[in-house]
Amino acid sequence: MASEQKSKTAIVTGSGRGIGKSIALRLADDGYDICVNDVPSNQSDADSVVKEIESKGRKAISVLADVSNLSEVEKMVQTSVDKLGPLNIMVANAGIAQVKPLLDLTEEDFRRMFEVNVYGVFNCYSAAARQMIKQESGGKILGAASIVAFKPFPMLSHYSASKWAVRGLTQAFAMEMARHKITVNAYAPGIVGTAMWDLIDEKLGELTGAKKGDTIKKYSGELIALGRTSVPEDVSKVVGFLAGPDSEYVTGQTIVVDGGIIFT
């Protein structure tokens, strides 16, 4: 069946901006037609990414969906298949972060973090896996972890816990999906120059008295072996490898892309 498919397709969640946008553009360059996903508040960003992909000569659609809602994820997968063709790649990239001391966390803080970062990944993994199994042509499923899935950061405790859960889900899915010729891996970015890390920098600065930008600069200088903050393209290059044919014998792994903060 795979040989009969005229074009390859990928869904990238949270791809209106940041790392997700970079991944969507990289996969388009690699020959994929892309389903760009984000939440309704980021519709204009998602539509802009669609236009950028189309300018590369690939097909693209924008599907607004909250990954924490399984029915919305299932509809997104079906829409992608209906409009672009059989699903080859799912990149469960969407996620949220929050900077807050452990003892100040509310039940709602913890619940929302896991709804997006854990339930959202599970929903994308499971919906994609069911579609790929139905197609009987294998596939690749990828999820967004983080360096905090290996070593938590202070003030990012529930975010760290959610990313540890992504590692566990990735390993479990890899074991159960192997017989269907579906590989399941995750990528773990470090300190990246995105809106999420701008927020982390701002909130940590409020707690420590540091000026805006100083926290990331300090972390980059003291923690990163390569001495610079990451850019989204550093991550999308690795995702391109994990989505491509050269990684067919890689599954159940969480690949760290951090310039040398965490060593596995």
Q: Please, is 176 exposed, middle or buried when counting C-beta atoms within 10 Å of its C-beta (0-12, 13-18, 19+)?
A: exposed
Q: 32 among the known binding-site residues?
A: no
Q: 33 among the known binding-site residues?
A: no
- Cβ contact 120:94 at 8 Å: yes
Cα–Cα distances (Å) from 228 to 11, 84, 176, 190, in that order, read 30, 38, 38, 11
CA dihedral 167, 110, 38, 147 (to 10 degrees): -40
Q: 231 among the known binding-site residues?
A: no
59: enclosing H helix or E strand? none
Q: 109 among the known binding-site residues?
A: no
- List 149's β-bridge partners, or say none: none
Q: 93 among the known binding-site residues?
A: yes
- CA pair distance 15, 12, nearest whole angstrom: 6
Cβ contacts of 168 within 8 Å, gap of 6 or more:
none
- Point out the catalytic residue in the list 159, 187, 219, 249: 159
Q: 191 among the known binding-site residues?
A: yes
The strand pair at 32-38 and 8-12 is best described as parallel
Q: 38 among the known binding-site residues?
A: yes
Q: 182 among the known binding-site residues?
A: no
Q: 198 among the known binding-site residues?
A: no
- CA pair distance 255, 184, nearest whole angstrom: 12
- CA pair distance 204, 183, nearest whole angstrom: 37
Q: 104 among the known binding-site residues?
A: no
Number of CB atoms found within 10 A of residue 70's CB: 16
- Cβ contact 86:34 at 8 Å: no
Residue 159 among the catalytic residues: yes
**Binding-site residues, please?**
38, 66-67, 93, 159, 163, 189-194
Give the residue numbers annotated as catalytic, written as ranges. 159
Binding residues for NAD(+): 38, 66-67, 93, 159, 163, 189-194
